[in-house]
C-alpha cells in the first residue's frame, strides 16, 4: 500500500497572515539576554576531564620522536594521546579532493604551524597545559612551501609525498564559444587581483565535550556544532564507529559563519575519552588556537581575469584563472569555496561565454576552510572590478554599464553559462531603487566638488547575485557527490492545543526558531506563544542539515509546510467524521476545519487534535490517535553535473545592488566610508527584521575583508597573527549602518516565494568598497588590486605614485 505525500502548499490557509512577513519579537532572545541559555563551556559532566593540545611550532617537519612519559606521570593526568594512538584507532579525515587528509594528530610529519601533535586529558585545563610542557618532540625540519606558485614547480618540497605533486586539482572549464567572443570583441581588458586570507571569527570559539561509552562502543559529542548531522557522519567514518553509534548534541553557540566545524578537536577529545576509560573530555579552543589553526581561514587567492566587451559596453565573455592556496591539507573543505562560484559565475549579467582555469594548491599553511559566502565574495570582487575597468575605458558610468548587461525580468528562469539556473529577478529595478535612495546625481556632484578640493572621494556601484539553498551537486567538481540536502521537522499537537516543532539544528543567531513559530502560528491561526520550538539531536531528529549555504529559511519553510499539510490531511479525515460530511468537502481555513458546503459547521484544529488524543472511538477506522507529522524537504529538479560542472544546483538567486561613497586620507591611507545604500531582493521577506540583521552582519564582515582583516604568514610559513592585535576586526566605528530599500520578486520555485539571504551582503560589500576606493584613486592613475585595502597598502600606492 503506497502512502501519498501531500502536495507542498505554497500559500497559508488563512485570509491574512498575522506573523509571516511581519516584524515580530524573536523567541530566541529572552534566554540569550537573561543568560539562561546553556553554551558548551557552561556544561560540566560527572567525572569530566579537560583537554589541552600540543601544537607544532614548525610549518613542515618530520616527527622523529614523541616522548610522553613525564607527562603521563604528572598528578591529575588521566590520558596522553599521540599520533600513534590516532593511527591505531582512527582514519585520516575525508577531504575534497580526496587523498589530502591527515589524522587528527600528526603522524610522521607536520604540515603547518599549529597542527596538533599530542594531547592531554587531565583533571583541569591548568594541569593539562602543564603536562604539555613535559612532552618532548624531536623534529627533522623540512623546507617550508609557502608560495603556491613555487609549490607547483617540479623541484618544490612535497606536502604529501605520496601525491607526487602539490597540485590538488587542475581543471579548465569552458562554457560557450569563448575563443570566438574574445576574437570578435571590440575591447579585451585584463587584470590581476590578490585576495589575502580572511576568516570567520565568531564571538565564541569552538568547544565540545566528548564521551566514549566503552561498554556500548558509542560516542556522544556535545558542542558548538553548526551542522550536527554532517559532523556525526564524519566522526563515524573517521573513528571507525557505526553511524548509529555516534550522537551529536549541538549547543546554542555564538555564531559560526562556517568556522565551527571542529573535526580535529572533536576527534582528539573523543579518542582521549576512549583512552581514559570512557570519562567525558571537554575541549574549549582558546582564541590563540582559533587564530593559529582553527577552522577559520579562507580564500587565499591569486586571480587573472579577462573580459570581452563590445564598443557599446555589452560584455560577451569572461575568463578567470584562479590559483587557490588551500594550505597544508584538504580537511577544511576549502575547495568547496572554489567550486561554488560556478553557481553565479557571470553574476547578474548576460555574458554568453565564460572560462574558469582552476588550480587548487597545497602549501604549509593552516588548511583553508569555509567562510560565510563560501567563495563568491572574492569572485564577485574580481567580476565587478572588471565591469568598472571596462566602464572607465569606455567612458561609461558604472551604473550604466551594469544596466546595459543585466539579465532581463522576462528572461527568467535564466540559465547562466556555467549551468546554474536563476529563478527570478528584477535587477534594473533594484538598481533604480538604490540610485533613487542615494540620490545618485547629487552623490556624483558631491564627489565632483570634493575632487576640486583635492580630496580622494570615490563611489562604488556594485550588483551581485547571492545563490541560495545549496545542493551537493554544486560541489561535485571537487569530489562532494550527491543530490538533495534534506531538512526535516516534526510538528506535534498536544491535548491542550499547544504545538511543538522539533528541528535538527540549534540556536546560532539567525532567528529560524522564530520563523518556525511564525509559520506554524499562521498555518493553524494560533498565537506564537502556543508554539514551542525544540532542538532534536542527531539520534532523534528527522533527516536534516541545518544552516549553511543560505538555505535554512527556505528549506525550513518547506519542511514545516509539508508537515502541516500532512496534519491537515489527518485533521480533514477526523473532521469529516465529527462534522458528518464527505472528506472531500472538508478544508482548513483560518485555523478551523470547515465544511465547504456549510461553512457554519466547523471545528478549531486544536479541538480536532484533542479529539484524536482523547476519543479514539470517534476516529476513522484504522487511524492512529496521533496528531503529529514529520516532513523532510529537499529542493526539486536538481540535476547531475556534466563534464563541465554544469547543473541546476542552488535553488534561488537573490540580488542586491550597493552604492557606497568613501574617502581616502592622502597622508595616512585610511579609508572612511561616508555613505552606504543598499537595495536587495530576496523574494518574500518572511521576517524583515531577520533579513535586515543578516544584511547588517554581512556588511560588517564585508567591510572587515575589504579594509582590515588578513591572516599573514612570513616567507618561512610562520603565522604572524595570534591575537586581535594582529588580526584587525572591524568595530562599530568602521562599520556603516546603510540606508536600505527592499524589492520583492518572489521565487516561483520555493515555499512562499522566499529566497536564501543568510550570506547576503558579504557577497557585495567587499566589491562595493574596493570599487569605491578605486574610483577615488582613478584621478591619480592608480588602482588597488589587493585586499585588504589597508591604510599601509593605500599609502604606499599613493606615495609611490608621488
| DSSP annotation string for 512-565 | HHHHHHHHHHHHHT--GGGEEEEE--TTTSPS---S-SS-HHHHHHHHHHHHHH
> Is 330 contained in some domain?
yes
Domain final residue, candidates 633, 649, 667: 633
Decide if 745 contacts 424 (C-beta within 8 A).
yes
* Distance in angstroms (rounded) separating the CA atoms of residues 524 and 608: 12
Task: Tell me the pairing of strands 315-327 and 353-362.
Answer: parallel
* Domain identity same for 544 and 666: no
Largest Cα–Cα distance in the chain? 91
Residues 6+ apart with CB under 8 A from 375: 299, 336, 337, 338, 339, 340, 341
Residues 515 and 663 in one domain: no
Say whether both 249 and 352 belong to one domain. Answer: no
The rounded distance, in Å, linking the Cα atoms of 528 and 211 is 37
Closest listed residue to residue 24, CA positions, set 527, 743, 558, 606: 527
Separation of alpha carbons 605 and 523, rounded Å = 10
Three cell numbers, residue 436: 533613487
**Distance, CA of 495 to CA of 684 (rounded, Å):** 34
Identify the bridge partners of residue 301 per DSSP, sorted by sequence position: 195, 324
Residue 510: per-residue pLDDT:
87
Count of structural domains within the chain: 3
Handedness of CA 52, 58, 64, 65 (dihedral sign): negative
Same domain, 498 and 575: yes
107 and 225 assigned to the same domain? yes
SS3 187: strand
Is the same domain home to 621 and 656? no
Compute the C-alpha angle 562/222/503, nearest 5°: 10
Residues of the chain with pLDDT under 70: 1-10, 802
Strands (E), 328-394: 353-362
- CA dist 362 and 788 (Å) reads 23
Q: 10 Å Cβ neighbour count for 468?
A: 30
In a domain, 15, yes or no: no
- Give residue for cell 617550508: 144
> E-assigned strands of 575-638?
586-589, 592-595, 602-604, 628-633
Residues 289 and 348 reside in one and the same domain: no
Q: pLDDT of 44-91, one tens digit each? A: 999 999 999 999 999 999 999 999 999 999 999 999 999 999 999 999
Q: Identify the pLDDT of residue 264.
A: 95
Does residue 439 lie in a domain region? Answer: yes
C-beta neighbour count of 107 within 10 angstroms: 17
Helix (H) or strand (E) holding 573: helix 552-578
Domain identity same for 789 and 663 = yes
Instruction: Tell me: cis bond preceding 522? Omega within 30 of 0 counts.
Output: no
Within-domain flag for 185: no
Determine the pLDDT at residue 447. Answer: 98
Q: Which of 727, 659, 630 is nearest to 292 (CA)?
A: 727
Q: What is the CATH number of the domain that holds 97?
A: 3.90.1170.50
Q: Is 509 a domain residue?
A: yes
Residue-number span of the structural domain to which 608 is assigned = 29-37+485-633
Residues 446 and 521 in one domain: no
258-303 pLDDT, tens digit each: 878 779 999 999 999 999 999 999 999 999 999 999 988 999 999 9
Distance of alpha carbon 662 from alpha carbon 677, whole angstroms: 12
Domain with residue 572: its CATH number is 3.30.365.10
Q: Does residue 245 lie in a domain region?
A: yes
CA 536 to chain centre: 22
Take residue 333 and report the three cell numbers written for it: 573543505
d(CA 569, CA 129): 59
Rg (alpha carbons) of the chain, rounded to whole number: 28
Q: Which of 609, 633, 657 is the last residue of a domain?
A: 633
Tell me which of 271, 293, 315 is where a domain ends. 293
Same domain assignment for residues 531 and 601: yes
Same domain for 448 and 491?
Answer: no
What CA–CA distance (Å, rounded) separates 56 from 641?
40
The pLDDT score that the predictor gives to residue 1 is: 28
CB 704 within 8 A of CB 729: yes
Find the DSSP H helices in 147-253: 148-151, 178-184, 228-238
User: Are 224 and 251 in contact, with CB atoms under 8 Å apart?
Assistant: yes
CA-wise closest residue to 491 among 559, 569, 573, 591: 559
pTM for the predicted model, two decimal places: 0.96
User: What is d(CA 520, CA 560) in angstroms, rounded to the nearest whole number?
Assistant: 7
Report helix angle 688-707 to 765-777, nearest 10. Answer: 50
Judge whether 19 lies within some domain: no
> Does residue 46 sit in helix, strand or coil?
coil
Residue 689, C-alpha cell as written in the block: 527584521
245/110 same-domain check: yes
Strand ranges (DSSP E) for 401-505? 414-415, 421-422, 456-468, 487-493, 499-503
Name 730's Cβ contacts closer than 8 Å, sequence gap at least 6: 700, 703, 704, 707, 708, 709
Rounded distance between C-alpha atoms, residue 645 and residue 736, angstroms = 38
* Per-residue H/E/C for 208-219: EEEEEECCCCEE
Per the domain annotation, does 754 fall within a domain? yes
Burial class, 370, CB count within 10 angstroms (exposed 0-12 / middle 13-18 / buried 19+)? buried
DSSP label at 413?
S
> How many angstroms separate the Cα of 107 from the Cα of each of 139, 221, 236, 683?
12, 24, 20, 50
Amino acid at each position: 500500500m503506497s502512502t501519498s505525500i501531500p502536495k507542498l502548499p505554497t500559500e497559508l490557509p488563512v485570509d491574512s497572515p498575522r506573523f509571516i512577513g511581519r516584524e515580530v519579537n524573536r523567541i530566541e532572545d529572552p534566554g540569550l539576554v537573561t543568560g539562561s541559555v546553556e553554551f558548551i563551556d557552561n556544561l560540566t559532566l560527572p567525572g569530566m576531564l579537560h583537554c589541552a593540545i600540543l601544537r607544532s611550532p614548525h610549518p613542515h617537519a618530520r616527527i622523529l620522536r614523541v616522548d610522553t612519559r613525564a607527562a603521563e606521570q604528572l598528578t591529575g593526568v588521566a590520558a596522553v594521546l599521540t599520533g600513534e594512538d590516532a593511527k591505531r584507532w582512527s582514519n585520516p579525515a575525508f577531504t575534497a579532493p580526496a587523498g589530502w587528509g591527515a589524522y587528527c594528530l600528526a603522524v610522521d610529519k607536520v604540515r603547518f604551524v599549529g597542527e596538533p601533535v599530542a594531547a592531554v586529558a587531565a583533571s583541569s585545563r591548568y594541569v593539562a597545559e602543564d603536562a604539555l610542557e613535559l612532552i618532548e618532540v624531536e623534529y627533522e625540519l623540512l623546507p617550508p612551501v609557502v608560495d603556491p606558485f613555487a609549490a607547483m614547480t617540479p623541484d618544490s618540497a612535497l606536502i604529501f609525498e605520496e601525491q607526487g605533486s602539490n597540485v590538488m586539482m587542475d581543471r579548465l572549464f569552458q562554457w560557450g564559444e569563448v575563443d570566438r567572443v574574445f576574437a570578435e570583441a571590440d575591447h579585451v581588458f585584463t587584470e590581476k587581483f590578490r585576495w589575502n586570507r580572511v576568516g570567520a571569527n565568531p564571538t565564541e570559539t569552538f568547544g565540545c565535550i566528548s564521551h566514549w561509552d566503552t561498554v556500548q562502543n558509542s560516542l556522544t559529542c556535545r558542542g558548538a556544532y553548526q551542522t550536527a548531522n554532517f559532523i556525526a557522519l564524519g566522526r563515524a567514518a573517521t573513528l571507525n564507529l557505526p553511524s548509529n553509534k555516534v550522537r551529536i548534541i549541538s549547543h546554542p553557540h555564538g555564531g559560526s559563519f562556517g568556522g565551527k566545524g571542529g573535526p580535529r578537536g572533536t576527534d582528539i577529545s573523543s579518542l582521549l575519552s576512549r583512552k581514559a576509560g570512557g570519562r567525558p573530555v571537554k575541549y574549549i579552543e582558546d582564541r590563540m588556537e582559533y587564530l593559529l589553526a582553527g577552522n577559520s581561514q579562507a580564500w587565499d587567492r591569486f586571480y587573472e581575469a579577462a573580459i570581452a566587451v563590445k564598443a557599446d559596453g555589452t560584455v560577451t565573455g569572461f575568463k578567470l584563472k584562479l590559483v587557490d592556496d588551500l594550505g597544508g591539507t584538504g580537511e577544511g573543505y576549502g575547495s568547496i569555496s572554489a567550486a561554488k562560484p560556478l553557481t553565479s559565475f557571470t553574476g547578474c549579467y548576460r555574458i554568453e561565454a565564460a572560462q574558469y582555469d582552476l588550480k587548487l594548491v597545497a602549501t604549509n599553511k593552516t588548511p583553508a576552510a569555509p567562510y560565510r559566502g563560501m567563495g563568491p565574495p572574492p569572485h564577485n570582487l574580481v567580476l565587478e572590478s572588471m565591469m568598472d575597468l571596462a566602464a572607465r575605458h569606455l567612458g561609461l558610468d558604472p551604473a550604466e554599464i551594469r544596466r546595459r548587461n543585466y539579465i532581463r525580468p522576462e528572461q527568467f528562469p535564466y540559465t547562466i553559462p556555467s549551468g546554474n539556473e536563476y529563478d527570478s529577478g528584477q535587477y534594473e529595478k533594484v538598481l533604480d531603487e538604490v540610485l533613487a535612495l542615494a540620490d545618485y546625481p547629487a552623490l556624483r556632484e558631491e564627489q565632483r566638488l570634493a575632487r576640486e578640493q583635492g580630496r580622494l572621494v570615490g563611489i562604488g556601484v556594485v550588483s551581485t547575485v547571492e545563490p541560495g539553498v545549496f545542493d551537493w551537486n554544486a560541489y561535485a567538481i571537487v569530489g562532494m557527490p550527491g543530490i538533495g540536502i534534506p531538512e526535516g521537522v516534526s510538528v506535534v499537537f498536544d491535548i491542550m492545543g499547544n504545538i511543538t516543532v522539533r528541528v535538527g539544528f540549534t540556536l546560532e543567531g539567525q532567528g529560524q526558531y522564530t520563523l518556525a513559530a511564525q509559520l506554524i502560528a499562521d498555518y493553524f491561526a494560533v498565537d506564537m506563544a502556543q508554539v514551542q520550538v525544540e532542538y532534536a539531536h542527531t539520534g532523534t531528529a528527522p533527516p536534516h542539515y541545518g544552516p549553511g549555504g543560505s538555505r535554512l529559511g527556505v528549506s525550513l519553510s518547506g519542511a514545516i509546510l509539508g508537515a502541516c499539510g500532512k496534519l491537515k490531511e489527518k485533521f480533514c479525515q477526523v473532521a469529516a467524521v465529527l462534522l458528518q460530511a464527505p472528506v472531500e468537502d472538508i478544508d482548513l481555513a483560518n485555523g478551523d476545519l470547515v465544511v465547504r458546503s456549510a461553512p457554519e459547521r466547523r471545528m478549531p484544529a486544536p479541538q480536532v487534535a484533542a479529539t484524536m488524543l482523547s476519543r479514539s472511538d470517534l476516529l476513522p477506522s484504522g487511524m492512529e490517535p496521533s496528531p503529529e507529522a514529520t516532513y523532510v524537504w529537499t529542493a526539486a529538479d536538481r540535476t547531475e553535473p556534466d563534464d563541465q560542472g554544469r547543473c541546476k544546483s542552488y535553488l534561488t538567486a537573490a540580488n542586491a545592488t550597493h552604492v557606497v561613497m568613501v574617502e581616502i586620507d592622502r597622508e595616512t591611507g585610511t579609508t572612511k566610508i561616508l555613505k552606504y545604500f543598499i537595495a536587495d531582493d530576496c523574494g518574500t521577506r518572511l521576517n524583515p527584521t531577520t533579513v535586515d540583521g543578516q544584511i547588517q552582519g554581512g556588511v560588517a564582515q564585508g567591510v572587515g575583508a575589504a579594509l582590515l582583516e588578513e591572516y599573514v604568514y612570513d616567507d618561512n610559513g610562520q603565522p604572524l597573527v595570534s591575537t586581535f592585535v594582529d588580526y584587525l576586526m572591524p568595530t562599530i566605528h568602521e562599520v556603516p549602518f546603510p540606508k536600505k530599500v527592499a524589492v520583492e520578486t518572489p521565487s516561483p520555485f520555493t515555499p512562499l516565494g522566499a529566497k536564501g539571504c543568510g550570506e547576503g551582503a558579504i557577497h557585495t560589500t567587499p566589491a562595493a568598497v574596493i570599487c569605491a576606493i578605486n574610483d577615488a584613486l582613478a584621478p591619480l592613475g592608480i588602482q588597488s588590486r589587493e585586499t585588504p585595502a589597508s591604510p599601509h597598502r593605500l599609502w604606499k600606492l599613493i606615495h609611490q605614485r608621488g
